Structure 1
Amino acid sequence: MTITGEIRGRRPRPSPPRWRITSLEVLCAVLVLALVGQDWLASLLLDAPRVRTASTTFVAVCVQALPFLVLGVLISGAIAAFVPASALRRLLPRKEALAVPVAGVAGVALPGCECASVPVARRLMGQGVAPAAALTFLLAAPAVNPIVLVSTAVAFKDAPLMVPARFVGSLLTAVVVGWLWTRFGRTEWIAERALARVRDHDGTSRWAVFAETARHDLVEAGGYLVLGGVFAAAFKVLVPTEWLETLAGQVALGVFVMALLAVVLALCSEADAFVAVSMSTLLSPRLLLVFLVVGPAVDVKLVALQAGAFGRSFAWRFAPAVFLVAIGCAVLSGVVFL
């Protein structure tokens, strides 16, 4: 063999992976700069009373919500790594109408954030679980799990009935949507890739799955927590009291505005109660309940995730239906408990 042939026969060496700047590096850089220049920032910003109020609200929301957020992503990572999707399939009744409420209650035992519930629901479908039951679990898991309920109890310690009101409203939303799917849903609305058979982890180390899931959820949910803290701070100092009094006096308008706000803000369910309680001095508990029930069920990031996992044909039908059902269930639960 000639030298040219030997050179041609060799496989090219893989190029080393390029280091890219991600949102995590940007967040760390911003935090370092804030720590280095904290004295300058304090002298520049904290002289204004409104800025002091806003900064106090922002820090209070983030500090109170962060432990629940961290605990939530650790549990979500553990479930993704160590609880096979087939475990829920074995617990569900074969009859679809009965499997729906069982899948809703299973959300209590298998907590996860909204972002994690979408791939879990897709995996359940790939494991042969009926779409109605998988979608019920998708809606219930991030809304009725113990982490969310405890964080709601801590945030609304002066309004303890908010916890059962949120639990019933969210669970009812998941079950009603599941039953509606059994009656009106069609399999052809779901992309074929979501129904393809899958196996758990596909040979990936369970600890690697745990670490990657927890890291991904923490970075993504942490960003939404910061966004929620900024919103709560701005809401505290920028929104005139007269507007909120008008909103509280017009129930139908208030319900719609709070539901739409939950969709747009796209907060993590482990942290949204602390944002909601920052508005409790100006808005009624029933309006805040609408915010808490609608948010984990449908928001802009969930619609995007569902479109990617199940197809756009599914998402544009599913999201409006969930939005309307969640509003109705929140109002009903608020009438009963609040």
Structure 2
Amino acid sequence: MTITEPVARRTPPRRGGVGSLEVLCVLLLVAVLFQDTWASLLDAPAVRTAATIFVAVCVQALPFLVLGTLVSGAIAAFVPSHVLRRTLPANRGAAVPAAGIAGLALPGCECASVPVSRRLMQQGVAPAAALAFLLAAPAINPIVLVSTAVAFPGEPAMVFARFAASLLTACVMGWLWLTFGSSEWIAERALRRVAARERESRWATFAESARHDLVEASGFLVLGALASAVFGVVVPAEWMHSLGGQLVLAIVVMALLAVVLALCSEADAFVAAAMPGLPLLPKLVFLVVGPAVDVKLIALQAGTFGRAFAARFAPVTFLVAIACSVGVGLLVLGGA
């Protein structure tokens, strides 16, 4: 029994029904049979614009998603759990800002931070600290700060404001999780301890962990990119020109745009800088909210930590990010 049981687990009997392979074959057959019809439908300008946005989001995010899964696999295979626990302060309240500042070390976007934060949880790091890292890493890493400085060459305070507001958002969300959060809101698979098997090469563990995380996260990235493409076509560009003299409305609109546009954190500063007629404060809100909560990040969080987690974490993060960016912006930028 001890020999046959593992084999039975690895090769369960195939259930009846339609699987992903059958669905793919049907979709390919439909695409071939009706290719002329699809070509005429897809020739519309709005569809071409949506397709461009979809491809751009995927192309921007995928390299950093791959980077995140590689880091995640490396943590699973080569970093013992006790090393991670000893690196952070024993006090969970102090571990939150320490994990947030550790986000400086990962030059990636939000897609990269999701699998890494899950691996940190699986290695025994407190969820509050892992979530602080998740929010801080895509917003305060050196690449993002340099891109922000290049995008706003005449506004050096914008770089500090983004760093401070993003780090403050990460810490506040970590402390809120310590106070009100529950591990029951996180899917069991995200908390299940993962360690390298003694009989298995650490390189094999690394490859398998990275492959699993990449396959799982890529599907949700595609869903988020699709949502971003749809909203990018629906929102008229003319609306942006009418917000210059309405500060409160501009803050709300820019926060919502950050969610639905789902730009990569390395590129969003250039998009914000190119928006004419807007004060710096709404642009700062855009730069802080985007890496913390957008449609592709919500999809990735739902797939990684569960829908119950995303349904609670994303709305609160949205409100906290707005409050922190407005507060820091008023102090640093003077409401400009």
TM surpasses 0.5: yes
Q: Is residue 283 from structure 1 mapped to residue 305 from structure 2 by the alignment?
A: no
Report the residue type matching 1:270 in the other structure.
E
Evaluate the alpha carbon distance shift between residue 234 and residue 182 of structure 1 in structure 2; reply closer, same or farther with a 3 A threshold.
closer
Q: Distance in 2 between matches of 1:77 and 1:113?
A: 12
Which residue does 1:165 correspond to in 2?
161
Count matched residues.
Answer: 294
Q: Is residue 141 from structure 1 mapped to residue 131 from structure 2 by the alignment?
A: no
* 71, 74, 86: which one aligns with 1:79: 71
Deviations 1:178-215 (A, max 9, x none): 01111111222222222211125995364787799899
Q: Distance in 2 between matches of 1:73 and 1:313?
A: 23
Evaluate the alpha carbon distance shift between residue 77 and residue 281 of structure 1 in structure 2; reply closer, same or farther with a 3 A threshold.
same
Which residue does 2:17 correspond to in 1?
none
Q: Is residue 102 from structure 1 mapped to residue 94 from structure 2 by the alignment?
A: no
* 291, 296, 299: which one aligns with 1:304: 299
Checking the alignment, whether the CA contact within 8 Å between 1:72 and 1:147 is kept in structure 2 is no
Deviation at 1:134, TM superposition (A): 1.1
Which residue does 1:11 correspond to in 2?
none
Evaluate the alpha carbon distance shift between residue 337 and residue 231 of structure 1 in structure 2; reply closer, same or farther with a 3 A threshold.
farther
* 142, 146, 150: which one aligns with 1:154: 150
Deviation at 1:104, TM superposition (A): 0.5
Report the residue type matching 1:292 in the other structure.
L
Deviation at 1:239, TM superposition (A): 3.0
Equivalent residue runs for 1:52-71 within 5 Å? none
Checking the alignment, whether the CA contact within 8 Å between 1:72 and 1:270 is kept in structure 2 is no
Deviations 1:55-100 (A, max 9, x none): 9xxx9xx99x999979856754653344456454331112111111
Deviation at 1:216, TM superposition (A): 10
Which residue does 1:252 correspond to in 2?
248
Deviations 1:234-283 (A, max 9, x none): 99xx633xx445412222211111001111111111221122122x4321
Which residue does 2:259 correspond to in 1?
263
Which residue does 2:87 correspond to in 1?
91
Q: Distance in 2 between matches of 1:234 and 1:173?
A: 29
Q: Distance in 1 between matches of 2:231 and 2:140?
A: 24
Checking the alignment, whether the CA contact within 8 Å between 2:108 and 2:138 is kept in structure 1 is yes
**1:134 counterpart SS class:** helix
**1:170 counterpart SS class:** helix
* 227, 237, 240: which one aligns with 1:239: 237
Which residue does 1:184 correspond to in 2?
180
Q: Distance in 2 between matches of 1:246 and 1:276?
A: 16
TM-score, structure 1 as length reference: 0.69
Q: Is residue 193 from structure 1 mapped to residue 193 from structure 2 by the alignment?
A: no
**2:256 counterpart SS class:** helix
Checking the alignment, whether the CA contact within 8 Å between 1:116 and 1:217 is kept in structure 2 is no
User: Is there any run of 5+ residues in structure 2 with no aligned partner, and where?
Assistant: 1-19, 25-44
Q: Distance in 2 between matches of 1:333 and 1:320?
A: 20
Deviations 1:153-195 (A, max 9, x none): 2222232221111111110000000011111112222222222
Evaluate the alpha carbon distance shift between residue 224 and residue 125 of structure 1 in structure 2; reply closer, same or farther with a 3 A threshold.
closer
Q: Distance in 2 between matches of 1:164 and 1:230?
A: 33
Deviation at 1:223, TM superposition (A): 11
Deviation at 1:329, TM superposition (A): 0.7
Evaluate the alpha carbon distance shift between residue 133 and residue 206 of structure 1 in structure 2; reply closer, same or farther with a 3 A threshold.
same
Checking the alignment, whether the CA contact within 8 Å between 1:264 and 1:299 is kept in structure 2 is yes
* 88, 111, 135: which one aligns with 1:115: 111
Evaluate the alpha carbon distance shift between residue 318 and residue 334 of structure 1 in structure 2; reply closer, same or farther with a 3 A threshold.
same
Q: Distance in 2 between matches of 1:151 and 1:112?
A: 13
Percent identical: 54
**2:276 counterpart SS class:** coil
Evaluate the alpha carbon distance shift between residue 298 and residue 126 of structure 1 in structure 2; reply closer, same or farther with a 3 A threshold.
same
Q: Distance in 2 between matches of 1:222 and 1:154?
A: 29
Q: Rg bigger for which structure? A: 1
Report the residue type matching 1:80 in the other structure.
S
Q: Is residue 334 from structure 1 mapped to residue 332 from structure 2 by the alignment?
A: no
User: Is there any run of 5+ residues in structure 1 with no aligned partner, and where?
Assistant: 1-17, 23-44, 46-54
Evaluate the alpha carbon distance shift between residue 300 and residue 285 of structure 1 in structure 2; reply closer, same or farther with a 3 A threshold.
same
